[in-house]
Amino acid sequence: MKKFEYMEKHGYEQLVYFHDKATGLKGITCIHNTTLGPALGGTRLWNYDNEDDATLDVLRLARGMTYKAAAAGLNLGGGKTVLIGDAEKVKNEGYFRGLGRYVQTLNGRYITAEDVNVHAKDLDFVNMETDFVVGLKHKSGNPSPMTSLGCFHGIRASLKVIFGSDSIVGRTFAVQGAGETGDYLIEYLRDAGAGQIYFTEINEKHIKKIGEKYPEVTFVEPDKIYELDVDVFAPCALGAVMNDKTIPRLKCKIVAGTANNVLDDEQKHGLMLKEAGILYAPDFVINAGGLINVYHELQGYKRENAVNDIEKIYDRLELIYKLAEEKDTDTQEAAKIFAKDRIATISTVRSNFVKR
């Protein structure tokens, strides 16, 4: 892999490899862009086939974090760490304290958090060695309710565009996946007076849980969820669910959920949804509630301040939808333009010397 060529093409700042023989810790931290603030992004532990796969993953994920933080209005840059290893075998106190020590060497240019196979209890060990870690249980807690809250407000902003009113009352929904975020989203929608809510799941325990908690919500088989005649389709499970096969089957007016990487091919399927007359809420904008929540740990965590900032997902989506219209482009592309514009503007604003 031609790393410097890739870094130059996409404007990366730093790529750091680290290894600790005693604990078997082997990882890579990538800092994409710190124009807005320190790079923040979780640590993912994965048994990558080879080092190039791990490198490409950390590069892509870090860049995604730059745009997510910028579009969320946060003073954060984008970064990420990947650890190469088998989560069943490598995890222990020494391993995560070792990680904490490497994070500390970056002296605050990078702040870590949870991601796949790295959980709040692992971060407690990381926190023994570094201050540059967020998402701690005793601080901001579980991010999922906050992610769903942001998604709820994003759905309201999307309804306003399509129906002229952001009221949830009587609107109909198809929720794909009722794990952490899907469950909380169903609760917010139901409490706000939604009409019929359908959901799908593949995990029997979750199907039972939703049936007991919300008896008025209707289960449908996984493959039937796409063609329901509802106002909003909310992907809250997997990525790549908007693709050549599913988009032609949709009868909804809006696609807006918590899942990451919803579009199989960003450019192609963003445009396909636009051409089908379906409003797509860009995933990295509507699902930023969890990120906004952990960001508040850096400000001295107060729940009401986090909630206040999460509500602003509504306003940002409104701006992005307007921008998409002005530029005659799809909403995913508009969200990226929005994020890049913010980075460019703030870097200009900060070019003056001001004593604080």
Active site residues: 80
Confirm or reject binding of residue 190 to ligand NAD (CB under 6 A): no
Confirm or reject binding of residue 287 to ligand NAD (CB under 6 A): yes
Give the residue, chosen from 37, 38, 100, 177, that forms a contact with ligand NAD under the rule CB under 6 A.
177
Segment near ligand NAD (CB under 6 A), from 117-125, 140-148, 242-250, 274-282? Answer: 140-148
Nearest distance from C-beta of residue 136 to ligand NAD, angstroms? 15
Confirm or reject binding of residue 154 to ligand NAD (CB under 6 A): no
Confirm or reject binding of residue 25 to ligand NAD (CB under 6 A): no
Q: Of the two residues 15 and 335, which places its CB atom closer to ligand NAD in the complex? A: 335
- Amino acid found at 26: K
Nearest distance from C-beta of residue 163 to ligand NAD, angstroms? 25
Q: Do strands 173-176 and 43-46 pair parallel, antiparallel, or not at all (unpaired)?
A: unpaired
Give the residue, chosen from 170, 222, 303, 344, that forms a contact with ligand NAD under the rule CB under 6 A.
222
Confirm or reject binding of residue 206 to ligand NAD (CB under 6 A): yes
Q: What is the DSSP letter of 29?
A: E
* Torsion angle in degrees (nearest 10) through CA of 333, 334, 336, 342: 160
Q: Of the two residues 23 and 218, which places its CB atom closer to ligand NAD in the complex? A: 218
Confirm or reject binding of residue 140 to ligand NAD (CB under 6 A): no
Give the residues across from 232 on adjacent strands: 173, 254
Backbone region of residue 171 per phi and psi (left: phi > 0; alpha: psi in -120 to 50; beta: other values): beta
Give the residue, chosen from 128, 238, 276, 344, that forms a contact with ligand NAD under the rule CB under 6 A.
238
**Among 113, 35, 116, 108, which Cα is nearest to 77's?**
35
Distances (CA, A) of 62 to 43, 205, 287: 11, 34, 16
**271: CB partners within 8 A, 6+ apart:** 330
Confirm or reject binding of residue 234 to ligand NAD (CB under 6 A): no
Sign of CA dihedral 97, 103, 107, 109: negative
Confirm or reject binding of residue 181 to ligand NAD (CB under 6 A): yes
Give the residue, chosen from 90, 106, 133, 259, that forms a contact with ligand NAD under the rule CB under 6 A.
259
Could you give the CA distance from residue 289 to residue 285 in angstroms, rounded to a whole number? 9
* Cβ proximity of 156 and 232 under 8 Å: no
* Cβ proximity of 320 and 331 under 8 Å: yes
Confirm or reject binding of residue 116 to ligand NAD (CB under 6 A): no
- Positions that interact with ligand NAD (CB under 6 A): 143-144, 147, 176-182, 200-203, 206, 222, 236-239, 258-260, 287, 290
